[in-house]
Chains A and B, each alone.
Chain A
């Protein structure tokens, strides 16, 4: 016993099988894990089954494809909005970028070549808009909401210049592509899967880790050597790029452009992120949850339609759902902090 260097348990302790140790470990980890994205998926599935009960045939591949197509613009916006919210910011300008993108699509897409060319331009404009937001938020240290409120107004104004009233047209091949399918699965579902895959790839990158770090504690991240300004610029640029992408999907879906289309999507983009379990205070969250949040919002509109309520209920319900999700998220977090022993 004297040669023992202290790794053995003391005489009074009972030997524990490691299995229990591992089980306790897993349990502790489950308790402290973020259950919010999973909760969002449960909510999505519940709504999906309610809708399927109301509307037979919902679970067919083609119906799910339509659901995915309806969700695509919102999910893409949510990707970027989520990244910005991870930095404890918010991007209201996605509305302006989306509106501008759809107006450009409706006026400049004439054939295959122009469609490709101007698609790239729309994505570039979005990215540039995001970089401007990022510089203003990061370099000048202005508040994200006021910066993006201002740029939202600016891009809305530019969109009105491009196309003063809703209308215009995109080529049939462009708008029809969303309804096509590959390997028996609708294109819209493929894109949703691709977005999730991009997220899973992105979250492993150093840039993503910096974004999480800046969001959870900016000062600590700075001390640890994270350069704040480029990180914020990256986050807002991703959001702008996504808003450009969302504009393309929106134009595909509506086959036209609308200078006011963005205003109504700002709240849903934030709501999708929050319902998906991302914390508004930064540093916590995942696009895996946001997809569920976006699907939830689309399904909610579908259910409202299926029970023959006026579609205006969707606007009201979106607002209530956003506030409820914020409350549920912070309540859940408070509960977890208390369970974990307060100080943790």
Chain B
């Protein structure tokens, strides 16, 4: 019975996310006819795709009760090195992309090792890592911007197969993969167990260190992939291009109903969050609001979603096992 109620409430959060997308899209069509033209829908899906790509990593990390603040600069580093090394030559991407994804995996692994083995709080570890990566990138580029993106990256980010953007296909593939991993593999179950209660998971035989390192590796790789796609979309790379994606990734996860404390949620929800944010971002200029409004909206959305989900659950202190035990013993 409790399982049924819980699964219902979780799905309700996700349904709410998709409902939000529909309502916002209809609102867009009302204030500006043509908002739901197929071309513009493709634009919305593409801009949501970048949020979804960083969101998949953030979802995995947040499901274990962590957070990854290093996403923007990993993304930026990947974009800059892509343009720097390829010099517009798509053929070179055959070795550049594996190197970028591998490098990002190493950065993620270091984050994970810091959190899992050295017991550094995730915010601090990934904040520190973010600064290290930023500093490293600034040193390499000497503060200048990158070069033009190779054609294959542009193709990935902007080309359409008929009415379907290539990026939408990639997004769908990521969606299927993430959902299968989370819902139907032993790793997925271990991940949820770790997020629900590390200590109990460890007692139950889950290698929580391995799970933790793995999710940060996934987040690093996803951020690097987003960087490649974003460089293709913009046509070049520049410093600071990753900045909006910290708030966006967390906001998408929060709208998608994933608990910030970990242990419940999935990427189907984050997908709704990414779509909602993309529609919202397109809606604001139509309403005559400056781009600055987007940051305010991100903040309000995160606050609203988190407050709602905590009100729904009504038991926000799950992370502190000892406090919970003490309360029960009293």
Interface residues of A (CB under 8 A from B): 90, 92, 136, 140-143, 145-147, 149-158, 160-161, 164, 218-219, 263, 266-267, 270, 274, 280, 310, 312-320, 322-323, 326-327, 330
Contact = CB atoms under 8 A, between A and B. Distances in A.
A132 to B, nearest CB: 9
B323 interface: yes
A222 B322 CA distance: 14
Contacts of A327: 118, 120
A320 B132 contact: yes
Contacts of B125: 323
Contacts of A160: 290-292, 295
B295 A153 contact: yes
Nearest to A140: B307
B85 interface: no
Given A142-B307, A146-B250, A330-B119, A154 B296 contact: yes
Contacts of B132: 316, 319-320
Given A150-B299, A280-B124, 17 more contacts: A90-B123, A141-B317, A142-B260, A143-B261, A146-B67, A146-B250, A153-B247, A153-B295, A158-B296, A161-B292, A267-B128, A280-B121, A312-B142, A313-B139, A315-B134, A316-B136, A326-B121
Contacts of A147: 303, 306
B285 interface: no
B139 A310 contact: yes
A174 B250 CA distance: 39
B34 interface: no
Given A142-B316, A157-B294, A152 B299 contact: yes
Contact of A316 (B135, B243, B254): B135
Give the secondary structure class of A's interface.
helix
A164 B292 contact: yes
B139 A312 contact: yes
Most chain A beta-carbon neighbours within 10 Å: one of B135, B243, B311:
B135
12 contacts: A140-B316, A143-B306, A146-B302, A153-B298, A158-B292, A263-B243, A267-B131, A312-B139, A316-B132, A316-B134, A318-B135, A319-B132
Contacts of A310: 138-139, 142
Given A136-B307, A141-B310, A316-B135, A322 B300 contact: no
A171 B230 CA distance: 42
Nearest to B314: A141
B200 interface: no
Interface of B: 67, 114, 118-121, 123-125, 127-132, 134-136, 138-139, 142-143, 243, 247, 250, 254, 260-261, 290-300, 302-303, 306-307, 310-311, 316-317, 320, 322-323, 326-327
Given A157-B299, A310-B139, A312-B138, A319 B131 contact: yes
A150 B139 contact: no
Given A313-B135, A320-B132, A270 B300 contact: no
B242 to A, nearest CB: 12
B107 to A, nearest CB: 12
B127 A266 contact: yes
Nearest to B141: A312
A149 to B, nearest CB: 6
Contacts of B327: 219
Nearest to B140: A312
A317 B250 CA distance: 27
Contacts of A315: 131, 134-135, 138
A151 B127 contact: no
Name the 4 nearest CB pairs between A and B, nearest first: A316-B135, A319-B131, A157-B295, A160-B292
A156 B291 CA distance: 12
Nearest to B289: A161
A136, A146, A314, A316 — most chain B CB neighbours (10 Å): A146
Max chain B C-beta neighbours (<10 A), residue from A145, A153, A154, A219: A153
Contacts of B260: 142-143, 146
A323 B254 CA distance: 27
A142 B184 CA distance: 31
B288 to A, nearest CB: 13
Contacts of A312: 135, 138-139, 142-143
Nearest to B298: A153
A326 B290 contact: no
Contacts of B247: 149, 153
Nearest to A312: B138
Contacts of B136: 316
A175 to B, nearest CB: 26
Contacts of A219: 322-323, 326-327
